Amino acid sequence: DAKTTQPNSMESNEEEPVHLPCNHSTISGTDYIHWYRQLPSQGPEYVIHGLTSNVNNRMASLAIAEDRKSSTLILHRATLRDAAVYYCILSALSNYQLIWGAGTKLIIKP
């Protein structure tokens, strides 16, 4: 199964953009790229997902490399409430499993 690799942690200042990278060099052609985040003591929540094209929603943007071997989650203006662990995940259509990495702990400094 394809795996994802993310930095353990990142820091950013409040009200500045944040770019969270993810490598998935062994991604297959049918794997979707998902991002979830987990606030302390809560279950994960959906952020965004995409296949090949860049995606935007009210929470974030997802930039996918042309070769699909990496992607970047963009938070346009981070707030203190965005402090969480962000997971980059691949969904394997072949066996209906989400493949979770270790995630990136995002620290927002006021």
Q: What residues line the site for another protein (CB under 8 A)?
A: 32, 36, 42-46, 49, 51, 87, 91-93, 95-98, 100-103
Instruction: Decide: helix, strand or coil at residue 64.
Output: strand
Handedness of CA 59, 46, 10, 65 (dihedral sign): negative
Residue 32 corresponds to which amino acid?
Y
> Which residue number, 66 or 96, has a Cβ lying nearer to another protein?
96
> Which residue number, 5 or 13, has a Cβ lying nearer to another protein?
5
Residue 51 token pair: 């296949």
CB of 14 to another protein, least distance (A): 25
